[in-house]
A and B are shown apart, each in its own frame.
Chain A
Amino acid sequence: MSTAIHRTVDAVWRLESARLIAGLTRLVHDVGLAEEIAQDALVAALEQWPVAGVPDNPGAWLTTVARRRAVDHIRRSQLLERKQEELAREAEQQPEREPDDVLRLMFISCHPVLPTPARVALTLRLIAGLSAAEIGRAFLTTESKITARIADAKQTLADRRVPFELPAGAELADRLSSVLEVVYLVFNEGYSASAGDDLIRADLCLEALRLGRLLAELAPAEPEVHGLVALMEIQASRAAARTGPDGEPVPLPEQNRARWDQLLIRRGFTAMLRARDLGAPPGPYVVQAAIAVCHAQARTAQDTDWAQIASLYDVLVRLLPTPVVQLNRAVAIGMARGPQAGLDLVDSLTGDPALRDYHLLPAVRADLLARLDRPAQARREFERAAAAARNAAEREFLLRRAAALPEAPATGPTLGQSAREFLLRTDLDAQTIRSYAQTLRRLCLDLGDSLPLSALTPERVGGVFTASWGDAAARTWNRHRAAVRSFGTWAGLADPAARLDLRTPEPSPRPVLDLDPLWARDLPLREHTLWRLLHESGVSARTALALDVADLDLDDRRARVGGRWIGWRARTAALLPQLLAGRTRGPVFLADRRPGPARTPAAADRCPDTGRGRLSYERAEYLFKQATGHTLRDLKH
């Protein structure tokens, strides 16, 4: 078969698959099945088009073939006996397009029952028509992982019986925000790519834009949809100007605005006007888009209306109070209301663990300090930012900025010099030096190599400790504290650890249970099954012992407990049928003997066939302790 026709079929599939799958889902009420039927139609096209030529309306051709197959399926299906005839009749009628079908499909593929990576993969597969291989390449993972992720997602949707419908009222807004989140995630994955094949990643931006534009036509009354489209169009308009000739990032104020794509900017403005015309109070995407519009409107960086941007950030920070938004707000306020106002705001963020290793925090501080005419401190902050930057081009850029500032006048030794000298001591063993080096590296990273040693105050040290090791185990904390004290004594400083409490270590953890020798033993079937189940499912022993045979779903390796599902893997799955030996009712794990007349358990805790009672927690615990010296809890890990 010629590759040309293959590529044409592929192009038609990309253009038509979302509508096709959406229409079929309305008929068969199962996304997975709908996609299979659509793929069947695609195979038919690959067989027939090379001979008969590409039809005039390829979309309608695919729809007709797929609907015929859906009808066959409905006729064959044992499950839908009641409405079978009615559905088959509906399906045979001339295919009529429901305008909202694709929107419904988007709501399904971004449904909150699915984990976010599954939503992303399913949306790119069903709505954008990408193959698992393409999605895998774009997200730097393997095709088989994406295939499994999509299969799991379809299974979950079928299990949960997620309906093919448009949610109403407040739920619509909720569900829509899940869709918007997925689209923006795809966009950012492509836009802030720091790894991988750039070209493929840039394609993700295009896919996200297409999804957004599609959504804007499907849900035109939702301002946030237009806000997101505006935001993406304007951000995409800067794509060519964001990197220099060597791939280094070019910050917004230094970008060559002539390279901004005016067409996309204008499309962004149009989307923004559509959002504003709807007159609702602005949501986070509309506000972010408004900020992007402010930047796009400025002919030069100096023309930027920072007062307007700062007040937009004041709104945004209430809607979206993330640390990164707060940092961006600090930049805007630094521009609008003076560097000191910005610096005060940044300083209130320095203890935030979420920003601990975020290189832009010291970079922003550096900028503000430079503008406050504190070049020595600014230089130190740029150096810190460079040390934290992950991207080589970005690191170079920050180091260049640091080098452009004058060095601090000599005021005695710096933290970096002293730390290096301290670590050259010969009176300590190698392991202690390694441990001390770790602590001092973090101090230098957070406070800057060129901090004068005299400025190493207990307050500064305390800040580093809280941000870096606030949640660390007591032993780790105390080790770092000892290192700082030792350094302070050596350097002749007043105790730099004065603000750090010695922490009391928790009792040492239980010894780790070595499982391989356990499984190698010749174990009784009941114990072996229970232990495997606890190990593979991670549930508590009491939960496992409470299981009844009727709760089990052996085919899918899971059981319903209370309102949730627990699952297990191959080893347990192999053992369970032997243990049950054909039983269909009563407890899964039975006691050895029938209970004596004085201690008859409730009917629910007895096997209706053998009369044996449910295995008690105490007995199960005893058996495990006898066998291993551990408690059943240790199996969870």
Chain B
Amino acid sequence: MRFLMTSMATDQAPDEKLFAEMAKFIDEMTAAGVLLATGGLERGGVRLTSSGDEITVTDGPFAEAKEAVAGFALIEVRSREEAIELGRRFRSIVGDGVSMIQQVFGP
């Protein structure tokens, strides 16, 4: 089962310790064959809205920072519980904030 784990932006600036712990966590997930892809996303971005025949392009930033997705990890695990457990470990490293876990269907 594949899950997309996304985390929302926070105001806290990451420190060196966090980087080291995250690198270790990512290494472990890669070694366990769980992590398929991971990446960070720019703040803001561009929003496309279609309404009838009209498509509107709006530049960011939008709304509050903590509602925007800041990074993602695509993982392949055996169960939803495993995904949640990995998400829990991720949250315990990065501190306060919000993550989403959604199963990916397809391709």
Q: Give A contacts to B, CB under 8 Å.
A: 7-8, 10-12, 14-15, 54, 56, 58, 203, 206, 209-214, 217-218, 240, 259-263, 267
Contact = CB atoms under 8 A, between A and B. Distances in A.
Contact of B82 (A14, A209, A259, A267): A14
Contacts of B86: 15
Nearest to A54: B88
Interface of B: 30-34, 36-37, 74, 76, 78-79, 81-82, 84-86, 88, 92, 106-107
Contacts of A12: 85
A20 B70 CA distance: 34
Contacts of A260: 107
Contacts of B88: 54
Contact of A15 (B37, B85, B106): B85
Nearest to A208: B33
Given A56-B92, A218-B31, A206 B85 contact: no
Nearest to A99: B31
21 contacts: A8-B81, A10-B81, A11-B79, A11-B81, A11-B85, A12-B85, A14-B78, A14-B79, A15-B85, A54-B88, A58-B85, A203-B78, A206-B76, A213-B31, A214-B32, A217-B31, A240-B107, A259-B107, A261-B107, A262-B107, A263-B37
Contacts of A10: 79, 81
Chain A interface, DSSP helix/strand/loop, else mixed: helix
Contacts of A54: 88
Contact of A7 (B37, B81, B106): B81
Nearest to B79: A11
Contacts of A211: 33
Minimum-distance CB pairs A-B, first 3: A213-B33, A210-B33, A217-B31
A11 B76 contact: no
Contacts of A240: 106-107
Contact of A263 (B30, B34, B36): B36
A15 B76 contact: no
Contact of A214 (B31, B74, B85): B31
Contacts of B34: 15, 210
A396 to B, nearest CB: 26
Given A12-B85, A15-B85, A7 B30 contact: no
Contacts of B92: 56
Nearest to A8: B81
Nearest to B92: A56
A389 to B, nearest CB: 29
Contact of A267 (B31, B36, B85): B36
